[in-house]
Amino acid sequence: MSALSLLPARRPVPGVFVALTLALAIGWLVVLLDGGQLFNQSTTVSLLHVAAGLGLVAVGQTLVILGGSLDLSVAYVISLSTLVAAETMNGSDGAILPAIGLALAVSAGIGLFNGLLVTKLRVNAFIATLGVGLLLKGYLDNGYDGPAGTTAPSLVQSLGYQRVGPVPVSFLLLVAVTAAVWFALTRTRFGHHLVAVGGDPEVARLSGVRNDRVLVTAHVLCSMCAGLAGIYLASRLGSGAPRVGTEGLYDLESIAAVVIGGTALAGGRGGVIGTVGGVLLLASIDAIFNQLEVDAFFKQVIRGAIIIAAVAVYARRAMRKAAA
């Protein structure tokens, strides 16, 4: 049991990619019949931009969920990070590195706090990160009414809008982060320990894993990913935005992307590649509906239905596997 769960790398490609291929094929056909073109330059670029923002958050979220935890504070961490980055830069290119460093450090600090609450004080992750999110919300609501700070122009040009062919630099950043996290999960001791802790904390502890340390690390990395997403959004928007995280529903959507990607919400099973598939699926559906000029509210209805349906399919499969 534990030997199996220590080998996440040997799992087959998650079914989310089948769904993604299907969605893109059907979407392409429907858009074509509608007289449009799904895979032209501008839709592809905007699809990848959407995926980059959500993807960075969701990759981090994968880590904590794999460890049996959860992070509901990411939306506020994103907003805070855009503000820290944009205000530190204040429009000057020279301040890019300190600004990015500071934004990541602040995010890491929040992650550390989350992690300590969950492990040392044994607060349920849902409540702990909800509480931390509320703390941050109060700070943001109290201090900011609207956009603040200015992102350095060269960062806007590079991370915000630069692209290689149809692929934005930000998406390449997501690919790099995903690769790093994939490596950490499948090839390092930390990754194996994290999956073990998520699978069964008691067994992991008895096998000599330092559960607390592993989970705190996962929380720090998760918040840093959210911080990175914030830096990306700041360079996309040109300034810090105190509501961008919550308005984008990044907290709930990132969790949805992780679960659609085949990671068990209870932890211990899944991987980061599936998460990227989930993110791409959500972004593709978005792009298809945009092409068809579907009402934004209707889009949300469909989105909710798809999230439930996707997870129901996984649950069916797991049940059949358990029966076999």
Q: How far is CA 177 from CA 105, 160, 303, 304, in A?
A: 17, 17, 26, 27
Q: Answer yes or no whether residue 30 interacts with other proteins by CB under 8 A.
A: no
Give the count of beta carbons closer than 10 Å to the beta carbon of residue 299.
16
- Is position 293 an interface residue for other proteins (rule: CB under 8 A)? no
Helix (H) or strand (E) holding 88: helix 74-89
311 binds other proteins (CB under 8 A): yes
Residues 6+ apart with CB under 8 A from 237: 82, 147, 151, 244
Element (H, E) at 168: strand 167-168
**Pick from 163, 210, 243, 303: which binds other proteins (CB under 8 A)?**
303
Interface residues for other proteins in 32-71 (CB under 8 A)?
none
Identity of the amino acid at 54: L
Q: Annotate each residue in 88-117 with x if it binds other proteins (CB under 8 A) or - if it does not, as one string.
A: -----------------------------x
Under the binding rule (CB under 8 A), the answer on residue 203 touching other proteins is yes
Which token pair is 288?
Answer: 């298809």
Number of residues that bind other proteins (CB under 8 A): 47
User: CA–CA separation, 256 vs 102, rounded Å?
Assistant: 29
Nearer to other proteins, 33 or 121 (CB): 121
Q: How far is the CB of 110 from other proteins (least distance, A)?
A: 12
Coil, strand or helix at 167: strand
> Cα 5 from chain centroid?
23
Ramachandran sector of residue 151 (left: φ over 0; alpha: ψ -120 to 50; beta: rest): beta
Of residues 117 and 195, the one with the C-beta less far from other proteins: 117
Residue from 54, 132, 221, 273 binding other proteins (CB under 8 A):
132
CB of 150 to other proteins, least distance (A): 24
- Single out the residue of 123, 172, 237, 292 in contact with other proteins (rule: CB under 8 A): 123
- Positions that interact with other proteins (CB under 8 A): 117, 121-124, 126-128, 130-139, 141-142, 200, 202-203, 252, 255-256, 259, 265-266, 295, 297-305, 307-308, 311-312, 315-316, 318-319
